[in-house]
A and B are shown apart, each in its own frame.
Chain A
Amino acid sequence: MRHPTHYFVLLGLLLVGLWGIYMFSYFPAMRMAIMISLSIAYVVWGIVHHAHHGDLHPKIVVEYILIAMFALLIFASLLYLA
């Protein structure tokens, strides 16, 4: 695994996000805001990671955006549609 520090940063981001979602139970707007921030942070992480790796390509950015969108969709549908 190259750039292990990047993965520690990602793990830190995810743990902070999960803590926030747990702490703000019963406040959907705050939980959604946390998930949106986490998804944006994830896409930024992907761009920075691949830029450092020297293999940044628009197709790769699209893949991170799609995964982030998928996560947001699942979370939002549970909070606001179900």
Chain B
Amino acid sequence: MLIPHESNNHRARILHPTGLSVVIGLYVLLQLTMNQLTMNYPQILGYASNIAPEEIVRLTNLERKSQGLSEVRLDSNLSAAAAQKAADMVARDYWAHVSPVGTQPWYFVSNSGYAYKYAGENLARDFADPTAVVKAWMDSPTHRENLLSSRYQDIGVAVIDGKLGGRETTLVVQMFGTKLNATGSILSVKASEEAGPSATRNWNPVLNRFDVAKSLSITLLVIFSVILAIDIIWVSHRKIHRWTSKSLAHLAFLTALLIAVAIVSKGVIL
């Protein structure tokens, strides 16, 4: 099955078209089973996240301070606006700055009682921890511009668990603003003095779905790479001429995939 031999035409059975089809079929079956487990037993296999709004504010201010900028002050109205936006995304099931009915982010800011001169919004979903969220924003030029803008004096953050597109997720909404009547520089305050709104779960699953899927994928790709390496050595050592696809090419392709899977992280920003 896994080692080339005369009986399998000098090629591991798993590398034959039938063997590959069986592996693909089993992988699909495994994914469907994991989906069912995630839907029916989210406390066992599910989506884990632990993001505190205060931590997002603290990390944002750390980044700003490192660039010589003033800290942004946590504003309860902006946090309320962020919470309204997050709730609206879950209620209307969308992932965008502008809602399907055309509601702009600034509507939520004004609606919360914050009369703004400048306002900005950063969104994130599917992240497991606050450090990864802020790092993702910092890695994106447009989000970084919001985060490090000297025009903003206030910040509001909301972290809400909900379903988007039928998938359990954690939404992070970060709103920046400067009040219409704001003057001069702001005083630096500790983020923990005013906590932003949060509607997160108070439990996490035993197994994180993404971690399980990633480990499974890496294991499968390593097994395939070893089988292909054995195949290459066998054929070259015995000088066998076969009418098959090139194991060296497959090994290169699957190694690239292995690297891609290893660098893929959970989390999307907008």
Question: Which A residues contact B (CB, under 8 angstroms)?
Answer: 1, 7, 10-11, 14-15, 17-18, 21-22, 25-28, 31, 35, 38, 42, 45-46, 49-50, 55, 57, 59-60, 62-64, 66-71, 73-75, 77-79, 81-82
| CB nearest to B243 among chain A residues | A55
| CB nearest to B213 among chain A residues | A82
Cβ contacts A to B, 23 pairs, < 8 Å: A7-B252, A10-B249, A14-B252, A21-B260, A26-B136, A26-B140, A26-B269, A28-B268, A35-B260, A45-B249, A46-B245, A59-B243, A63-B15, A63-B245, A66-B17, A66-B24, A67-B254, A69-B24, A70-B24, A73-B24, A74-B257, A78-B261, A82-B212
- Cβ-based interface call for B186 (8 A): no
Report whether B256 and A66 are in contact in the complex, using a CB–CB cutoff of 8 Å. no
Report whether A71 and B254 are in contact in the complex, using a CB–CB cutoff of 8 Å. yes
- On chain B, which size bracket covers the interface? 35 or more
Within 8 Å CB of A62, what residues of B? Answer: 17
**In whole Å, how far is B219's beta carbon from the nearest beta carbon of chain A?**
11
Other 15 A-B pairs with CB < 8 A, given A7-B249, A26-B140, A62-B17: A11-B252, A17-B256, A59-B17, A59-B244, A63-B244, A66-B20, A67-B253, A70-B20, A70-B23, A74-B261, A77-B27, A78-B213, A82-B209, A82-B213, A82-B214
Report whether B139 and A21 are in contact in the complex, using a CB–CB cutoff of 8 Å. no
**In whole Å, how far is B69's beta carbon from the nearest beta carbon of chain A?**
23
Looking at chain A's contact residues, the main secondary structure is: helix
Looking at chain B's contact residues, the main secondary structure is: helix
- Cβ-based interface call for B101 (8 A): no
Cα distance A69–B246 in the bound complex, in angstroms: 16
Report whether B245 and A25 are in contact in the complex, using a CB–CB cutoff of 8 Å. no
The 0/1 profile, CB within 8 Å of A marked 1, for residues 240-252 of chain B is: 0001111011101
- Cβ-based interface call for B21 (8 A): yes
Within 8 Å CB of A7, what residues of B? Answer: 248-249, 252
Within 8 Å CB of B246, what residues of A? Answer: 46, 49
Report whether B256 and A18 are in contact in the complex, using a CB–CB cutoff of 8 Å. yes
| CB nearest to B24 among chain A residues | A70
Within 8 Å CB of B220, what residues of A? Answer: 74
Report whether B245 and A60 are in contact in the complex, using a CB–CB cutoff of 8 Å. yes
Cα distance A35–B213 in the bound complex, in angstroms: 18
Within 8 Å CB of A21, what residues of B? Answer: 260, 263-264
